[in-house]
Structure 1
Amino acid sequence: MMDEQALKARLPDSVAARIQTIKLTDGTVTLVLEASGLDADNRAGLESAVKQMLGEAEGVSEVRVAMVADRAPAPPVAPAPKTPRIIAVGSGKGGVGKSTLTANLAVALARMGRKVGVVDADVYGPSQPTLFDNKGAKPEGRNEKLVPVPSRHGVPVLSMGHLVEPGKALAWRGPMAGNAMAQLVDAHWGDTELLLIDLPPGTGDVQLTMLSKFKPEGAVIVSTPQDLALIDAQRAANLFETGKVPIIGLVENMSGYTCPSCGEVSDPFGKGGVEDASEGTGIPFLGRIPLAMEIRISSDAGSPSAAGDSAEAEPFRDIARKLSDWLDAASKSEAAVSKENA
């Protein structure tokens, strides 16, 4: 009477090597063969040959063959794109230079080696297409998301100014503005590591949508030195504090004007008010930016001052360095907390 080993010995070595299990019960032989690398014709031929060779053995009345093949390895899954860190740049009122600061900080940080993008969340009065000289450019769509518009300064940008006709007014209610901002943030930012969000003035629906959907890692508050602007800036700071968003610091813009003819320095908006507010609130003071014709000209030309090496670029670079240091410190703190919780 044949046993399993004797049956296995009747098969060629190449076939025997494929046997995973073989069992003889009441004249019935059941085999499981490993069939990786064989196409349908080869599998059929192998099954037929095994049945013939074992069916001729003494005491075998039936041969049953099952074939299995190792599953092909699953294709590698691309890692999910890393969500950029978000820094909000806000103010309590319009006209304090918030957009100019955002653009210059982005360019200065990019020159420092950071991969920075800008979202122009001021859906009613977008400025970034002018500041980055890409007016008229239209973002592409991919998988129902927008692809940011490149700029010649290496900073990708998304703005409602890229989506509507120039000069066209948007008559949108608040929730529509908030949803528009969400589409600009939730875009294909690629390898961008840091998003600066240029917020509209005030504390309305766009800010509330941002806090609920895309909570920033920190916020920079911009104000001119005058009391009215400072009151509004304090409201913006209070909103971030209520949303548990750290205030990175305060920036005083339009601080001092040097007459190009006589060199005399005047302070049409006052001076030092933001720094005094910093001392009174304990919020860090990041620096002041002068009211300079050169900054206005370069902004209108779509070439932020921080893209060059003029004296007007230095205040922006200095604030960008402080922001960069804050980001590094925040990363180290987060890593330390994660290590403690591990």
Structure 2
Amino acid sequence: MSLTESSLLAALTSVQDPHTGKDFVSTRAVRNVQISGGDVAFDVELGYPAQSLVPELRRAFIAAAKTVAGVDNVSVNISTKIQSHSVQRGVQLLPGVKNIIAVASGKGGVGKSTTSANLALALAAEGARVGVLDADIYGPSQTMMLGVSGKPESSDGKTMEPKINHGVQVMSIGLLVDNDQAMIWRGPMAVQALEQMLRQTNWKDLDYLIIDLPPGTGDIQLTLSQRVPMTGAVVVTTPQDIALLDAKKGIQMFEKVGVPILGVVENMAMHVCSNCGHVEHIFGNGGGARMAADYHIDFLGSLPLSMQIREQADSGTPTVVASPDSEAAQIYKKLARDVAVKVAQKAKDFSAKFPTITVSQNT
């Protein structure tokens, strides 16, 4: 029996995407199949960054292809193509930015900024072009966490160049004012400043812009959710009941303005004693997962209450950069891939396309 494309594709269906559970053939990720004698070659195009998974996926595809009689050599090219996806109705996409992901919490002090920084760095480590907008006007922290400083450069006096560190583009009010200067602004002024930072920063071909929102569901959060073209939002909480109470308000706010919730992250889920290894659930157990189930949204994972995570963020080299092979870094990377997969599964952006309207005597 001669080697055929159909027999090869049938064998490749055994390789499943670890994040979706679907095979790459039925989702049309396998493309450009070429067969020359016993040599086969094909491309696999992912819709999300997954650089750390490529070696394992390549081995799986080669092994599956070689189960087909007549296959001698296998060449697999695995690439990523990240596209723009739909946002709130009536809000246009931002030039130079394909997808905007808001990271929010109803309550301060739950590790939202730490999660934002590590999420951005994990997406970058997986091969994406990523930016971070620090939207916390009153308490900016991304400058310290991502190790950037100094006034942004401007070649035309109208737009600003983002600071870049660890491969991530960064803009924050902390770059525009002195570290010890208090921002005593009312809501409309803060919203205007944020919109200027968002739209007057020369973002350079970003696949994802992570917006670290301030805590709460007030005027700033609501206005940004209505005006900023958000692909989706990630809600950060701790297992503590009081944090969950506020996190639910954040979920409800996004639902009202039409921003999809990509998932819930539970921070400070447990503390592991550095001396004896004893695990203690200081802030409760499983609260984030239960809340996600109640609202029928995805639970993205739990992070421990860790001195190492705190120290690394304070030093300007968050966990994903400082300890890329650590257990915490692997959790952040899986979280990032899961978020990117959720984005990839959303509808593509068709904001530039309009329906054809026909007017006749009969209408």
The interval holding the TM-score normalised by the smaller chain is 0.7 to 0.9
Q: Does residue 261 of structure 2 align to residue 229 of structure 1?
A: no
CA distance in 2, matches of 1:145, 1:339: 29
Which residue matches 1:317?
Answer: 333
Q: Give unmatched runs, 5+ long, in structure 1.
A: 1-79
1:131 to 128, 145, 148: 145
Residues in 1 aligned to 2:209 and 2:354: alpha-carbon distance in whole angstroms: 28
Does the residue aligned with 1:156 lie in a helix, a strand or coil?
Answer: strand
Residue deviations 1:176-198 (CA, integer Å, cap 9, x gap): 11111111211110222211000
Identical residues among aligned pairs (%): 46
Contact 1:248 1:284 (C-alpha < 8 Å) held by counterparts: yes
1:50 counterpart residue number? none
Cα deviation for residue 337 of structure 1 reads: 11
* Residue of structure 2 equivalent to 1:164: 177
Q: CA deviation at 1:115?
A: 0.5
Q: Is it true that 1:102 corresponds to 2:110 in the alignment?
A: no
1:118-157 matches, within 5 Å, as 118-134=132-148, 136-143=149-156, 144-151=158-165, 153-157=166-170
* Secondary structure of 1:102's aligned partner: helix
Matched with 1:177 is 190
Provide the secondary structure at the position in 2 that maps to 1:219.
Answer: strand
Q: Is the 8 A contact 1:181 1:206 kept in 2?
A: no
Indicate if the aligned counterparts of 2:124 and 2:168 stay in contact, CA closer than 8 A: yes
Give, as a single letter, the amino acid of the residue that structure 1 aligns with 2:310: R
Shift of 1:311: 1.7
Distance change >3 Å, CA 340–CA 212, structure 1 → 2: closer
CA deviations 1:179-218 (Å, max 9, x no partner) are 1111121111022221100000001222123123213110
Contact in 1 for aligned 2:238/2:288 (Cα 8 Å) = yes
Tell me the equivalent position of 2:66: none
Contact 1:182/1:209 (8 A) holds in 2: no
- What one-letter code is carried by the residue in structure 2 that aligns with 1:271? N
Q: Secondary structure at the match of 2:132?
A: strand
8 Å CA contact 2:96, 2:203 repeated in 1: no
Distance 1:161 1:240, change over 3 A: same
**Which amino acid is the alignment partner of residue 318 of structure 1?**
K
1:111 paired residue number: 125
Structure 2 residue runs without a partner (length 5+): 1-93, 357-363
Matched, 1:248 2:262: yes
Q: Which has the higher contact order (CA 8 A, sep 6+)?
A: 2
Which whole-Å deviations, capped at 9, do the CAs of 1:243-276 have from their partners, x for residues lacking one? 0000001110001000001110001111200101
Equivalent residues of 1:287, 1:319 under 8 A apart: yes
Deviation digits for residues 92-141 of structure 1, max 9, x if unmatched?
A: 0100000000000000000111111000000100010011111x321112
Determine if contact 2:320/2:332 at 8 Å carries over to the other structure. yes
Are 2:201 and 1:211 aligned? no
Displacement of 1:146 in angstroms is: 1.8
Determine which of 322, 325, 345 is the counterpart of 1:329.
345
In the alignment, what sits opposite 1:72?
Answer: none
The question of whether the paired residues in 1 share the 8 Å contact of 2:97 and 2:209 is answered with no
TM-score of the superposition, structure 1-length normalised? 0.72
Counterpart of 2:243 in 1: which secondary structure? helix
Runs (4+) off by over 4 Å: 335-342
Judged with a 3 Å threshold, the aligned counterparts in structure 2 of structure 1 residues 142 and 234 are, in CA distance, closer, same or farther, namely farther
Distance change >3 Å, CA 243–CA 100, structure 1 → 2: same
State which drifts further: 308-317 or 121-130. Answer: 308-317
The amino acid of 1:310's aligned partner reads S
Counterpart Cα distance in 1 of 2:175 and 2:112: 19
**Residue number in structure 2 paired with 1:58:** none
The Cα of 1:340 is off from its aligned counterpart by 12
In 2, Cα distance between the equivalents of 1:99 and 1:90? 9
Query: Greater share of helix residues, 1 or 2?
Result: 1
Partners of 2:174 and 2:233 lie apart in 1 by 23
Cα pair 1:87 1:196 within 8 Å, conserved: yes
Measured in 1, the distance between the counterparts of 2:349 and 2:100 equals 17
Normalising by the residue count of structure 2, what TM-score does the alignment of the two structures yield?
0.68
Alignment length (residue pairs) = 259
